A = this chain, B = another copy of it.
Amino acid sequence: MSAGPKFPQVEYAESSGALRRCYDDMQSVLRVPWVMFAARSLAVFGGFVPAAWQAAAPVFGTDRVERAADELRALAVLPAADPPDPRPRLAELDFDEARIGEVRRALDALNYGNVKYLLLITAWCEGIQGRSSGGTAPDGPEPATLPAGPPESMAALHLVDPRGADKRVLQLLTRVTDMHLHHGPSSDFRVLAGWPDFLEVALDDVLGPVVRSACYETTALALLERARAHVRRFPGPAGLTPEQALAVCTETEVAAITGLLFLFQRFILDVTIDMVRCSQALDGRDAAASSPFSAR
């Protein structure tokens, strides 16, 4: 990653009209405090995001997705040795427990939402590639509707803008991007960039040793397969077929969306594993495998 032009996207603050209403509804239904990078990027291509969200919203507001998300979160814990506790190095940097608490609260919000976004992008990705995004299994019991909006105790998230960041933060975000072979920093890492000392220790000790290792890749594949299995069993399609997408996009936009969904699906898989591992480093395997916000 270079410090080049910003990847085209409609940030939340820049959104208006139908797109803003879609962003708001997405955050409310998913109960999360941010709109995924993928949706912000896809928003520049015709009417895909509002139409695809309309298809997804009914099931994503139910406990069926909540339980699928719980399962994926637990599956995102790498079957490897525990990462080292970052506290000793952080203590040397005068990074105290109060600030670790801030990081933990951000991670809790991210870990709650990442697996939901993984399910969402998987439904959209399968749909646009002409495969099932739901409605292919016999109906199970009627799912229960979840309360709308992020839980009150969930932290608000601040995404650092790489364009205004200082040199150290920019270098850290470049390192994140290149170690994953990504095209830019995810929302999650833009949040962690608010605590550069933590991010640096996490990259050195928690993520660097495992990213793109064999066990990381195996975990990403297993998550993808489980996400696809959950999506296929949704009560109805949560994505758009190419034909449906053509009602709100040009052919060229559909091609662009197909590429970006594929790219962001892998991107979200990686980030999901990473954030769970950061939680594991702070609070252990059991805490990382579950979410304090999971609704029952």
Contacts and interface: CB of A to CB of B under 8 A. Distances in A.
Interface of A: 1-2, 4-5, 7-8, 41, 44-45, 128-131, 177-178, 181-183, 212, 214, 217-218, 221, 241-243, 246, 251-252, 254-264, 266
A130 B255 contact: no
Nearest to A218: B214
Contacts of A5: 242-243, 246, 251, 254
A183 B5 CA distance: 29
Contacts of A212: 221
Nearest to A220: B217
A243 B221 CA distance: 33
Contacts of A214: 218
Given A221-B217, A256-B259, A130 B1 contact: yes
A242 B2 contact: yes
Given A217-B217, A217-B221, A8 B255 contact: yes
Contact of A254 (B1, B8, B251, B264): B8
Contact of A256 (B177, B218, B243, B255): B255
Given A2-B242, A243-B5, A251-B5, A129 B181 contact: yes
A215 to B, nearest CB: 11
A183 B262 contact: yes
Contacts of A182: 129
B4 A255 contact: no
B178 A131 contact: yes
Nearest to A250: B8
Nearest to A258: B183
A45 B257 CA distance: 13
A131 B1 contact: yes
Listed residue (A2, A183, A242, A257) with the most chain B CB atoms within 10 angstroms of its CB: A183
A160 to B, nearest CB: 18
Given A2-B241, A129-B183, A263-B263, A255 B7 contact: yes
Given A44-B255, A129-B181, A252-B256, 20 more contacts: A1-B131, A2-B130, A2-B241, A4-B242, A5-B242, A5-B243, A7-B255, A8-B252, A8-B254, A44-B252, A45-B256, A128-B183, A129-B177, A131-B178, A183-B258, A255-B256, A255-B260, A257-B259, A259-B261, A259-B262
